Amino acid sequence: MSIQINLPEGLQISPFELNMLLAAKLFDEGLITSGQGAEMVGLSKQAFIEMLGKYKVSVFQYNINEIESDIANA
């Protein structure tokens, strides 16, 4: 799918950065996999995962309930 976005004048952001922001957010929300994110931005899966830290996105997609459950069952 392709979309068009109207950005504010003077915004200094590269197409890669914009794609990476979107892919990181979609991954963080659990809407895409790391492989899909990597494909969106043209990186290897490993490179995409490494870049997620820059966007403050964890590769571990656990929510607090899952973590508490894992601790209780340990």
Whether 4 is covered by a domain: the verdict is no
Question: Can you say whether the dihedral through the CA atoms of 38, 43, 47, 50 is positive or negative?
Answer: negative
Count of structural domains, the chain: 1
Whether 21 is covered by a domain: the verdict is yes
How many CB atoms sit inside 10 A of residue 42's CB? 11
Whether 62 is covered by a domain: the verdict is yes
How many residues does this entry show for the chain? 74
Q: What is the pLDDT of residue 70?
A: 74
Q: What is the pLDDT of residue 2?
A: 85
Give residue 56's domain range. 15-72
Alpha helices in the chain (DSSP H): 15-28, 34-41, 45-52, 64-72
In tens, the pLDDT along 27-64 reads 999 899 999 999 999 999 999 999 999 999 988 776 67
Whether 45 is covered by a domain: the verdict is yes
Whether 50 is covered by a domain: the verdict is yes
Residues contacting 40, CB < 8 A, separation 6+: 19, 22, 23, 26, 32
